[in-house]
Amino acid sequence: MAWTDMETFRRIPKFMEDKRDKKAVEVRNSWLSKKYFFGNDSPASREGQHLIMNVNGGRVIKERPTSPVITEAQKFVRARIERRWLLLFKQTAEFLDRQKPKVSAPEVVEDILLKRRLQRSEAAWKILNSRWVSSSRDVVALRNQLLNPSLCSEFKTFVALKGETFENDVDFWLEVQKFKAKDLCHTNAHDGLIRRKVQAINECFLNSAISPELQIDIPIEMAEKLVERLTARHLHVHPYIFREAQVR
């Protein structure tokens, strides 16, 4: 209360002289007497009390205290609050409870929604992962069947009924596999033979003299870039030169 009353005085505008005078007298009667500031339970030491007396001109405060007297006395009051009462308050259950993180309702809702999104994402990833494994197994099985001449012929007959270029897609895949086979690209085959094979695949499927030029189902942009690489003057031939189009 002492600090609050002194702070109230300090906040009263200076042009309200009557109100300031009245509040200053209240502060003197309540706090700047032997009942508090100059008593045994004073927030100031003997030296502090003498300091306030000196600010008041070395006299006992009997009338309205000046503004500097109240301001300096308030500093001692504040020091006691910080030194004693603040430490005691920090040990109370009320203060300790305030230090616990408070979660508002919107934050709780947001946390729940985030948790649900993460759970859905995790579930979706598990599904995609299982599909990827299944797809990988299917690809391996299909590849083994295509390498079997009789099964491959039946498969080509089947896909021919599903689309115009599907049969050509199978033929392209088979020719690329032959190009990558151990008896050609992975062996010490003559460079001219390898380049003629690349040229044959290019002219048959990617840049055909028979309309349409593109005989397989890949994006035109991909085909144009691949043809540009295959017809370059300094072509670097390697087993995976058709990989992008083959896996498409």
- Angle 2-11/17-30 helices, nearest 10 degrees? 170
Asked if residues 45 and 62 have their Cβ atoms less than 8 Å apart, the reply is no
pTM for the model stands at: 0.43
Distance CA 246, CA 248 (A): 5
* CA-atom Rg of the chain in angstroms: 46
Mean pLDDT of the chain: 79
Q: Is the peptide bond before 212 cis (omega within 30 degrees of 0)?
A: yes
Q: Under 8 Å CB-to-CB from 205, ≥6 apart: which residues?
A: 168, 171, 172, 175, 214, 215, 216
Asked if residues 65 and 28 have their Cβ atoms less than 8 Å apart, the reply is yes
Note the pLDDT tens digit of each residue in 4-58. Answer: 889 898 889 888 899 999 999 999 888 898 888 888 888 888 898 889 888 988 8
Note the pLDDT tens digit of each residue in 162-182. Answer: 777 888 888 888 888 888 775
Higher pLDDT, 231 or 85: 231
Q: Under 8 Å CB-to-CB from 138, ≥6 apart: which residues?
A: none
pLDDT of residue 234: 80
Asked if residues 21 and 63 have their Cβ atoms less than 8 Å apart, the reply is no
Neighbour-count burial for 123-133, b at 16+ CB within 10 Å, e otherwise: eeeeeeeeeee
Distance CA 176, CA 20 (A): 99
Q: Where are the domains of the chain?
A: 2-93, 134-247
Architecture of domain 134-247: Orthogonal Bundle (1.10)
The percentage of the chain sitting over the pLDDT mark of 90, rounded to a whole number, equals 7
Distance CA 36, CA 55 (A): 18
pLDDT of residue 125: 52
pLDDT of residue 62: 80
Distance CA 151, CA 236 (A): 34
Q: Cβ of 64: how many Cβ atoms within 10 Å?
A: 16
pLDDT of residue 21: 92
Q: Under 8 Å CB-to-CB from 5, ≥6 apart: which residues?
A: 23, 26, 27, 30, 31
Phi-psi region of 216 (alpha: psi -120 to 50; beta: other; left: phi over 0): beta
